[in-house]
Structure 1
C-alpha cells in the first residue's frame, strides 16, 4: 500500500507495499493531491541505480533499517537473534494516521504514524514478544531520511542555570550523535535536533527536526554517508538488560516528534506551538505567580511570610507558591526530603493560616515538592533503605538520594503523601522538583515509566491541581512529561541577561505560556549580576510571568512599577500566550529582536534587547517579522516602569514623536531606526493595525 499523508503544506509519503518494512519516499513540502496512478508511478520510479560493490538490488532505506538490509549506518533495532522483519498488515485508523505491523520469529512490531493538522509528524514502535523465551531489547529507534541538501545540524548543550545553549556544525560524512545518561533529559539535553539547508535561520531556509517525547535517557543523531541517504534518528537509550520482555510482554517506544519547515526555525515553532496548544491548551489564563524561594529561602514562618502575602496581593499576584522549607526538619537542603508532613515548629497550626491569608486576598495557593527524592538524613531513608535507588550507600548529589519508584511500597508512600497534602489543603498548584541525576545503571526506563504513572495517578485524583515540571531548573523539559504537567520551570537562574537566550531557544519547541519566567531581585541570586528593573520586567513578560523577589524590601516606587507591569501582563496575556512567536534573524549580533503576533495579525508585541555594546555607532534598524505586508500598523514604545537606558544625544525622530504608522511590508523588510540602548536593556514595542 502507498500512503500519502498531507496537512498544512507538509507531506509524508510511505511505501508500505511489502514484504519488507516500509520506507519513506518523501517527507517535506506538500505534493498536492496525488491519485493512485501517480503514487504508483512515483514509487516505481523511486528505485535508485545499483552502484558497484554493493547489494545486487537497488538500495532502500526502510523505517527499520538494519545491517542485514544493507544499511551500514546506525541501525534502528538491536537485539538477539537478528530478526528479519516482514510486513504483515497495513491499516488506516484515521485519514491522518497509518498502522503498519511487522513480524519476525517470536516478535511482532507495530509502527504507528500520525500527521497532525499542523503538519507535525508522530511516530513510535510497539514491540510484542510472541515467543516462548524472554527477549532482551537492545534498542529500537526511529530513522527518517532527509534530503542531502540538508547539511547543517543544530542542537543544544548546556549546564545548570545555563540551559539550551545552541551548537551548530556542518554535517560531514559520519554521525553527529547526542546521548544523555542522566535518568532525565538533563541540562545538556539535545532537546530538538535540527538539520537544514546551509545558512538556515529563524526566518529562512528548509529545516527538518526531531524531538524525543521522553523524560529519561535518549539518543538523537544525524548521519550522513557516501553509502546511503542522510538521516535523522531518535530513540530511548537503553542500558544492557534494561528492557527484558517476558513472553507476552510488550515495549512501547517514546513518540518521536518530527517536523519540517520551509521557513526556518520560526516555521518549526509555528507548527509545534499550534499542535501543542491543540493538545495541551491551559484551562484558564496563566496566572501571575509569586514564588517564595528567592524571597525567603528556608526562612519560613507565618510572621515572616504575611507581609509578603500582602505585598503580592497589592501587586496583583494571582498565585502564591510556598517553596522549599515547609516540611518537618527542613532547615536547609541536607535533610528531610521524603518526610512530607508540615513542620510543627515553624507551622504549629499547619499551613491553614497561611493558605487562608493567601486565598482571602484573592490568590491561589501553590506548594513545592520533590517527591522522587529522599535525604539520607530523613525518617524515610532510615526506616526504608530498601526504597533507595542503588542502596543507602549510593553516591549523593546535592546531599540527596533517589527513591526507587519501581518499588511498590516506595511508590505508594510518595503517592499517599502527595494525596494527603492535596486532600487536607486547598492547593491549586504543585511545583514538582527533581534536583539530581539518577546515576544508577539501567534505572532510567523503569523510573521514568513509574514517574509517568505517578503523575497520572495524582492528576486522576486531583484533576484541577496544576503541576509544574522543575528539574533543578530546565533539566526535564520535554513533550513526554507534558502529557502530565501544565508548565515548566525554564531555568533556576532569574538573571534576565541569561534568561533572554535560555527562553529564546527553549521556546523554539515549547509555547511561551508553558515556560515560567520570573522577575528576580535587583542582584541575581545565581550570577550576582545587577539588572535594571525595566530589563527584568521586559524579560519576564514574554512567558508565564511571575515574581521571585521579596517585594517587602523593594522601594515603594518599584512596587508601584511592579503592579503596573502585572496589570500590563494581564491585559496582554491573550496575545502573549496565543500568538505566533517570531524572531528576527540577527541584523545586529549584539542584539535580539523577538515578538508575538496575534493569529489575525492585527496586533503584536516586540522586544529589542541589547545584550552587549553595539559594534557600530548607529546599529541596524529594528525589523518586525511576521506582520501582514498589506496592513498598515502603528508602532509605539511600551514603557515598563522607566524607559530603558540609551546613550544618545537625541533619539530617532519617530521615537521622539512617540509613534509611526507604516505598511507591514516596510516594517518587516526595512524596519525602523533603533534607540541606542546601552547593554542589558530592552525596549518593548506595541504594533497595532489600523481599524
Structure 2
C-alpha cells in the first residue's frame, strides 16, 4: 500500500472502478468524511479543491463552523446528529472521543484509516474495500481500548445519503410474509430501526435503499446498503438540521459484551447505481454468489425435496422410501429428512438438544433410508435446530445452566435457547452433530432457528458462527441451509457459512411470488430455495394450480415440499415438465442477473433473468391480482442490446384459456424483434386469470 501525504490541513483518498468513485477527505488530521460517491470522476479532478467546494456555508442558528459528518461522527466535535460511537468507562461515565489520524494507507481497492485518542486510550480503525468487478463497497470499523470500556453503539463507517432522494426504502415483514418494502419520506429527524430479536429477523431485514427522486427498477440513480450480521442490528437514517443526511448501521444497541477492550462492527456492504434499483440488486446478487458463498459455480444446483409438509413428525421408513421414490420420479435430486427423527420427538414440545436417532422410528438407524435415497441417485439431507432446547429433554435436565435467560421466560414454539457463548455448549453440539454426520452419509444440513432470543446478545451470534465454522472445517463437503422459521435469518454474515436460504415458510405461490420479487434486490437465484407446496396451502388456506406453484418455484433454486402421493396424473405431468425445463436451463440461469421489470399494470409482478453474456433471458410475469383494465398492458424488458434481434417464445402456451380469444403474436408462435422494440414498445402478453403466470424464453439471434 502507498501512504498519502498527511498534510495537517487536508488529506484525500479515492477508490475507483468503471461504475463509481468514492472520495474521502480529512481536515486538520480529523477523521475523514465522504466528499463524493457517484459516477466515475476524471483522474484529473483535484480532490482537495472538491473537498473545499463541499464545505458548507455558515449562517444564523449554526455553530461557527460545520461539524464533520465523518466516518464516525463525534460528540466532541459538536456534531448535531447521532454519533457513530457511544461508550462509557468501567465506572459507567460517558466517554467522548476526539480522534486524530495517526496512520493511513491506500491501494487501488482499499483504504485503511487509523486514528487514536491518547487521552482516553482509544484507537479507531476504518476499512473501506472496493470490489471492482461486483462494484460493492465493504466497510468495517474496529475500536480498541487500553482499558476495558462499555460500548453501547459502534457504527460501521458512516456514509452520507443523497439529498436528491425524497424517499427511502427499508424492509419489514413477518412469518410467511418476509421482505416487505416500507417506503418512508425523508424529513428532518431520524428513521431509526433497532432489531432486538437477537437474529436477523423476519421483522427487519438489515437493508436499505435510497433512490433519487424518479428512480425506477430500470432507470435512475440509487444507493443500497446491507449490514452483514446475523444478530440484532440497528439502523439510523438521519436528516440533520443543516440538511445533510447520514446512514449508520451497527449491532443492536447495548448488545456488545462488556466491558472489553476490542469491539468490531459487522461489514456494511454498499453499492450505487445509475441504472435504477436493478443496478444495486445485480451488484449484491453477484457479490453474494461470487464472493461470499462457498459454492462451486460449476456444480449444478440440485432439485430439492423436503418431506416436512408430507409427514410432519409422523416418520415411517416405508412411507418415506415411497415418497423418496415418487419425488425422484418427478425430478428431485436431493431428499431432506426434516424434524422428527431424533430423541422422542413426536411433536414440538420435546427432545430438542437430544441429538440421537430415535430408535423407535429408526431401529436400524438412518442407514436404510439413506441407502434408498442414494440408490435413486439423490443426495441426502437432515434437519437440525442446534441453538434451541426443549425443557422436556435429557439435555435440559442435565444442564439447566446452559439455557440462555431466566427459567421463567416465555417459551417460543415450546422451546428455549441454548447459550452459544459457552464453550461447553458449542463443544457438546459439535460432538453430537459431528457424530451424526460422521456415522451417516449425509450430504446436506438444514439448520433451523425457530424462536427469537430472550434478549439480544452479540455473543450468541459469535458463538453460532464459531460452531458453524468448526463443523464446516470438519465436514467440508456437507452443504448447509440457513432457515429460521423461513426467512428469519438471511444475511451476508450467515451466508459466509451456508450455501442456501429457505426464503419463507410460506408455500403459497402467490405470496412467494411477491417475496421472491422483493428479495431479489439482495439475493441471487442460486442461493434462494423455492418449493412447490401442497395443493391446499397449509399457511394461507388457498388452493392454487400446479402450473402456478411449479413455475413460481422454478424462478429460484427449485424444490418440492408436498406429499407426492396427493398428485393427480395431470399435476404430476405438469410438475415433471417444469422441473425438466428448470434442469435444462439451470446451467445459465443460476448465474444470471435477476432484473425486476417496471410493469405498467400493478397486478403484474414481473422479472427478467438475463444471462451474464446477454445471449439468453427468461421472463416470469405473474398475475398476482385482478387488473383494473380488460386487456393486458405492454411489459417492457430491460438490459438488452438495442441493435440486436431477439426471438421470444411463450414457454407455457398450454396454460392459455378459452377466454383469451385474440390472435396475439406470442400465442401464434415465436416473436422476433429488436432489443429496442422489446425495451420501448414492450411485449403484449395473452389475457389470463389472476393467480397465473406467463413464462417467456428469449434468445439473441
State the TM-score, normalizing by the size of structure 2. 0.94
**Match for residue 273 of structure 1?**
285
- Deviation track 1:279-303 (CA, whole Å, cap 9, x = no partner) reads 1263122110000001111111211
Query: Residue 288 of structure 1 is aligned with which of 303, 308, 313?
Result: 303
Query: Residue 91 of structure 1 is aligned with which of 85, 101, 105?
Result: 105
**Match for residue 298 of structure 1?**
313
Is 1:325 the counterpart of 2:340 in the alignment? Answer: yes
Q: Match of 1:244, SS?
A: coil
**Match for residue 311 of structure 1?**
326
**Match for residue 687 of structure 1?**
698
Report the Cα distance in structure 1 between the residues aligned to 2:503 and 2:162, rounded to whole angstroms: 33
Distance change in 2, residues 1:180/1:373 (3 Å):
same
Query: Residue 472 of structure 1 is aligned with which of 485, 496, 501?
Result: 485
Is 1:11 the counterpart of 2:21 in the alignment? Answer: yes
Report the Cα distance in structure 1 between the residues aligned to 2:36 and 2:681, rounded to whole angstroms: 37
Report the Cα distance in structure 1 between the residues aligned to 2:662 and 2:362, rounded to whole angstroms: 55
**Match for residue 33 of structure 2?**
23
1:190-589 correspondence to structure 2 within 5 Å = 190-239=205-254, 242-246=256-260, 249-279=261-291, 280=293, 282-283=295-296, 284-440=299-455, 443-589=456-602
Per the TM alignment, residue 40 of structure 1 is displaced from its structure 2 partner at its CA by 2.5
Report the Cα distance in structure 1 between the residues aligned to 2:629 and 2:577, rounded to whole angstroms: 34
Q: Which deviates more, 139-148 or 430-439? A: 139-148
Q: Match of 1:4, SS?
A: strand
Distance change in 2, residues 1:348/1:260 (3 Å):
same
Report the Cα distance in structure 1 between the residues aligned to 2:349 and 2:197, rounded to whole angstroms: 21
**Match for residue 70 of structure 1?**
78
The answer as to whether partners of 2:646 and 2:673 remain within 8 angstroms in 1 is yes
Per the TM alignment, residue 595 of structure 1 is displaced from its structure 2 partner at its CA by 1.7
Report the Cα distance in structure 2 between the residues aligned to 1:178 and 1:392, rounded to whole angstroms: 29
State the TM-score, normalizing by the size of structure 1. 0.96
The answer as to whether partners of 1:161 and 1:491 remain within 8 angstroms in 2 is yes
**Match for residue 61 of structure 2?**
53
Q: Match of 2:452, SS?
A: coil
Q: Which deviates more, 366-375 or 652-661? A: 652-661
Per the TM alignment, residue 656 of structure 1 is displaced from its structure 2 partner at its CA by 3.1
- Deviation track 1:113-151 (CA, whole Å, cap 9, x = no partner) reads 1111122111111111123xx201121113211231122
Is 1:113 the counterpart of 2:113 in the alignment? Answer: no
**Match for residue 146 of structure 2?**
130
Report the Cα distance in structure 1 between the residues aligned to 2:284 and 2:376, rounded to whole angstroms: 37
Q: Match of 2:627, SS?
A: coil
Query: Residue 654 of structure 1 is aligned with which of 665, 679, 682?
Result: 665
**Match for residue 4 of structure 2?**
none
Report the number of matched residues: 678
Per the TM alignment, residue 437 of structure 1 is displaced from its structure 2 partner at its CA by 0.4
The answer as to whether partners of 1:178 and 1:190 remain within 8 angstroms in 2 is no
Report the Cα distance in structure 2 between the residues aligned to 1:231 and 1:354, rounded to whole angstroms: 55
Q: Which runs of 4+ in 1 moved over 4 A?
A: none
Per the TM alignment, residue 228 of structure 1 is displaced from its structure 2 partner at its CA by 4.5
- Deviation track 1:29-67 (CA, whole Å, cap 9, x = no partner) reads 2113236xx122222333222223332234431111122
The answer as to whether partners of 1:621 and 1:672 remain within 8 angstroms in 2 is yes
* Stretches of structure 2 lacking an aligned partner (at least 5 in a row): 1-10, 89-94
Distance change in 2, residues 1:17/1:67 (3 Å):
closer
Distance change in 2, residues 1:151/1:353 (3 Å):
same
- Deviation track 1:591-610 (CA, whole Å, cap 9, x = no partner) reads 11112011111110001110
Per the TM alignment, residue 367 of structure 1 is displaced from its structure 2 partner at its CA by 0.3
Report the Cα distance in structure 1 between the residues aligned to 2:533 and 2:190, rounded to whole angstroms: 41
Q: Which deviates more, 305-314 or 187-196? A: 187-196
The answer as to whether partners of 1:385 and 1:391 remain within 8 angstroms in 2 is no
The answer as to whether partners of 1:535 and 1:644 remain within 8 angstroms in 2 is no
Q: Match of 1:273, SS?
A: helix
Per the TM alignment, residue 647 of structure 1 is displaced from its structure 2 partner at its CA by 6.0
Q: Which deviates more, 14-23 or 257-266? A: 14-23
Per the TM alignment, residue 432 of structure 1 is displaced from its structure 2 partner at its CA by 0.2
Report the Cα distance in structure 2 between the residues aligned to 1:268 and 1:511, rounded to whole angstroms: 12
**Match for residue 163 of structure 2?**
148
Report the Cα distance in structure 2 between the residues aligned to 1:8 and 1:245, rounded to whole angstroms: 44
Per the TM alignment, residue 556 of structure 1 is displaced from its structure 2 partner at its CA by 2.9
The answer as to whether partners of 2:390 and 2:416 remain within 8 angstroms in 1 is yes
Distance change in 2, residues 1:352/1:71 (3 Å):
same
Q: CA RMSD in A?
A: 1.5
Report the Cα distance in structure 2 between the residues aligned to 1:503 and 1:308, rounded to whole angstroms: 27
The answer as to whether partners of 1:245 and 1:251 remain within 8 angstroms in 2 is no
* Stretches of structure 1 lacking an aligned partner (at least 5 in a row): none
